[in-house]
Amino acid sequence: MKKNGLKWIAVAAAVLMTLALAACGGSGSGGSAEKEPADPKEKFVGEWQVAAAEYESILMAGKFGEFIGTDDGKMEIKEDGTGSITLEDEVKLKWTLNEEDENAIDVKFEKKTEMTKKNVKVEFKDDALFMRIKSDGKTGALIFTKDGKYEKAKEIDLDKAEKITDKDWLIGKWTLSGFKMSGVSMTGEAEDLKTAMGDVDVYVEIKKDGSAEMSGSKGKWYINKKGAFMHEKDSLGEHEYPMKKLGDEMVFDMSEAFNMELVALMKKDE
């Protein structure tokens, strides 16, 4: 189990680091739909805050400070064609409306840093700004909104997770639907997550006979007054992984075993 858990950490970290590199190109997004302005440029003008991020088709929410260099990432687009972006440092920018797409602007940074080394295209969608960049063939984006919130990016709230007391609810095969690592939640469709993580098949299977399996690693499971747990023993010792209920999904918590926040969110196969 430990070996497979380390693989989970590696793939989750890889996604986050790729996103951090993609933050050079960034992206922004907004909230509820508003009426289209008469002047296409008007939709971009204003102050925008980092609200979420996107890697391929995976949405991320939570604490991005460790990965983008600040807990208060923001971008300002001024009507006169200038502005600034603040990630690790404040960098001035110039922008023009894209000639082919009135829902996009072309941004040129005045100072080249690790986070602003490439000029980018910023797209307006869902009242949000998506500033995208490609890294190693993958596409990432930071999402900026006016209020710093992006409803489509789901944060995994562990405080709302409940004890599992019903074994019939737990028995079955559970497939990855999200991750939470170091304060950043990543959610998406199972196939999208699998593709983004290098085709790693992440699952937990809880069987009627008391046995359990996580991505090929064998163990046992049980329910007591404290809740549901999976138990596994390997050359490094014995490990217990709490399992909790979050809505209709299952939380598989490896945080204590790996001495860091690492939680997998699972959906039960039909």
- Which residues constitute the domain of residue 26? 12-145
Q: Do 137 and 179 fall into the same domain?
A: no
How high is the pLDDT of residue 192? 79
63/200: higher pLDDT: 63
For the stretch 104-161, pLDDT in tens is 999 998 876 655 556 788 999 989 999 877 666 667 788 999 999 998 998 999 999 9
pLDDT of residue 258: 77
* pLDDT attached to residue 111: 76
Residues 160 and 139 placed together within one structural domain of the fold:
no
CB 244 within 8 A of CB 162: yes
Per residue in 91-117, pLDDT tens?
Answer: 899 999 999 999 999 999 887 665 555
List the one residue out of 267, 186, 257 whose CA is nearest residue 4.
257
Those residues whose C-beta lies under 8 Å from the C-beta of residue 30, and which sit 6 or more positions away, are 126, 127, 128, 129, 144, 145, 146, 150
How do strand 128-135 and strand 120-125 relate by DSSP bridges?
antiparallel
pLDDT grade for 221, boundaries at 50, 70 and 90 = very high
List the CATH number of the domain containing 194: 2.40.128
Higher per-residue confidence, 71 vs 185? 185
139 in the same domain as 163 = no
200, 77: one domain:
no
Clarify whether residues 141 and 34 are in a common domain: yes
Residue 2 lies in a domain: no
Query: Is 187 found in the same domain as 106?
Result: no
Q: Is residue 1 part of a domain?
A: no
What b-and-e string marks burial along 233-267, b requiring 16 or more CB atoms within 10 Å of the CB?
eeeeeebebbbbbbeebbbbbbeebeeeebbbbbb
Residue 14 pLDDT exceeds 70 = no
- Does the residue 69 lie in any domain? yes
Is the model's pLDDT at 75 over the cut of 90? yes
Q: Which residues contact 191 (CB under 8 A, 6 or more apart)?
A: none
Phi and psi angles of residue 139, each rounded to the nearest 5 degrees, phi first: -110, 130
Q: What was the pLDDT predicted at 2? A: 42
Q: For all residues of the chain together, what is the average pLDDT?
A: 81
